[in-house]
């Protein structure tokens, strides 16, 4: 299949490109390298050193014997976005081109508006371009489990049969996001659902959990094939940040009580699931939602797992609680359903500890990099507004 990966230079995009190429798909890409720019802006860096995209394309050419189709383009630019889709004529478009950071969107009005513009206008441009130039293409859009928030009931995959005053209807499950970033993803989910309804586009909207890990098999040992791993307060996610903290002897920091529960999955599972979705498109006009994660854990459980693995590797992990910069429930019901991908054939890795061990080993040569950027590990972006470094509370 011809697969266009929007955001091909990112944490998920680059491994996905390699995995799909390995499986014989014709991979094309689009990126404006904004993730690199944003991580720079917040003072972070990738713990794993990553090549520039010219070298990545060189690696791709060497390994799979062909030039990769690529456009450097900002999604908010209609002309280039639509030209890319018209020219490449994808069978599937994987949209990883959204700004993925909740804290980044909460910095101030400018970042909130930037995230909204990048995500919402970018997605609207993709939808219009698909309608005009590739109406049969399957759009795989990355949403987030965070769109749902933490309702006091199980979370279905996108839709539920509800009853109200004796009437019943099959309705979109209400969203209760927890940051401007998460809301921008809700807006995008709604817009994609609408485009499928009025224009007959087909889409899979993936409500993904938090991804962790450094590796998939298709990468091998060439450094040009490695993917980024962020650990700053904006772009670093829980397990990745815990591993970096542990590696440099800093405590893993739990926000508040640490009983917040979320869905998690290793990088290899995320790539496996997206590939299954690419290879199993829905019918034209169908808008399909999958909750994509392996298992739900509390943040405290995750830190405990990192601690266990780190001890086995001879490290001296610590866990501490800090003020919660977010406004969120710190202990809550959480039972999201996730059957759709299993039905498509998803085989969960189910070995978080060996993933964590791999990650710690991959990070080990980069201790100095992490150490020089350790200031970005402790959050100071507050949900209520303003910046104020969080203190330890234990």
Q: Cα separation of 89 and 182, whole Å?
A: 30
**In this structure, are residues 308 and 357 in contact, taking their beta carbons and an 8 Å threshold?**
no
Query: For the purposes of burial, counting CB atoms within 10 Å of the CB of 247, is it exposed (0-12), middle (13-18) or buried (19 or more)?
Result: buried
Q: How far is the CB of 128 from a copy of itself (least distance, A)?
A: 4
Active-site residue list:
144, 181, 185
**In this structure, are residues 99 and 118 in contact, taking their beta carbons and an 8 Å threshold?**
yes
CB nearer to a copy of itself: pick between 54 and 168: 168
- Retrieve residue 112's tokens: 């909130």
Q: For the chain, report the end-to-end CA distance as a whole number of angstroms.
A: 53
Q: How far is the CB of 161 from a copy of itself (least distance, A)?
A: 8
- Retrieve residue 176's tokens: 């209760």
Q: How far is the CB of 210 from a copy of itself (least distance, A)?
A: 21
Q: How far is C-alpha 285 from the chain's CA centre?
A: 25
Q: How far is the CB of 232 from a copy of itself (least distance, A)?
A: 22
- Retrieve residue 217's tokens: 């098999």
Instruction: Summarize as ranges the residues that interact with a copy of itself (CB under 8 A).
Output: 78, 82, 108-110, 112-113, 116-117, 120-121, 124-125, 128-129, 131-132, 151-154, 156, 160, 162-165, 167-169, 171-177, 180, 183, 186-187, 190-191, 194, 197-199, 327, 333, 383-385
Other Cβ atoms less than 10 A from the Cβ of 371: the count is 13
CB nearer to a copy of itself: pick between 47 and 75: 75
**Residues making up the chain, counted from first to last:** 394
CB nearer to a copy of itself: pick between 51 and 117: 117
CB nearer to a copy of itself: pick between 91 and 328: 328
């Amino acid at each position: 299949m011809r697969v266009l990966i929007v955001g091909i230079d990112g944490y998920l995009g680059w491994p996905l490109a390699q995995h799909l190429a390995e499986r014989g798909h014709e991979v094309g890409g689009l990126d404006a390298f904004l993730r690199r720019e944003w991580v720079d802006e917040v003072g972070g860096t990738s713990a794993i050193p990553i090549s520039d995209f010219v070298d990545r394309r060189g690696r791709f050419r060497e390994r799979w014997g062909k030039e990769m189709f690529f456009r450097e383009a900002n999604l908010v630019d209609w002309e280039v976005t639509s030209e890319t889709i018209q020219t490449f004529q994808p069978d599937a478009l994987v949209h990883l081109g959204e700004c993925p950071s909740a804290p980044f969107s909460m910095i101030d009005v400018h970042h909130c508006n930037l995230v909204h513009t990048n995500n919402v206008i970018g997605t609207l441009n993709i939808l219009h371009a698909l309608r005009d130039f590739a109406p049969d293409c399957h759009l795989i859009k990355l949403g987030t489990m965070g769109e749902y928030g933490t309702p006091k009931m199980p979370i279905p995959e996108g839709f539920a049969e509800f009853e109200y005053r004796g009437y019943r209807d099959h309705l979109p499950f209400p969203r209760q996001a927890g940051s401007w970033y998460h809301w921008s993803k809700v807006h995008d989910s709604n817009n994609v659902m609408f485009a499928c309804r009025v224009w007959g586009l087909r889409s899979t909207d993936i409500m993904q959990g938090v991804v962790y890990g450094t590796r998939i098999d298709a990468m091998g040992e060439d450094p040009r094939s490695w993917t980024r791993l962020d650990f700053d307060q904006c772009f670093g996610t829980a397990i990745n940040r815990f591993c970096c903290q542990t590696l440099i002897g800093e405590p893993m920091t739990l926000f508040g009580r640490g009983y917040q529960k979320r869905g998690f999955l290793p990088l290899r599972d995320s790539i496996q699931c997206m590939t299954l979705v690419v290879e199993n498109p829905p019918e034209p006009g169908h808008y399909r939602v999958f909750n994509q994660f392996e298992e739900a854990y509390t943040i405290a459980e995750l830190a405990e797992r990192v601690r266990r693995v780190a001890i086995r590797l001879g490290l001296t992990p610590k866990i501490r609680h800090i003020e919660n910069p977010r406004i969120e429930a710190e202990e809550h019901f959480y039972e999201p359903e996730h059957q759709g991908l299993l039905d498509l054939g998803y085989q969960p890795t189910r070995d978080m500890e060996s993933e964590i061990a791999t990650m710690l080993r991959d990070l080990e040569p980069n201790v100095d990099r992490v150490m020089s950027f350790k200031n970005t590990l402790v959050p100071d972006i507050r949900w209520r507004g303003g910046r104020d470094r969080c203190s330890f509370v234990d």
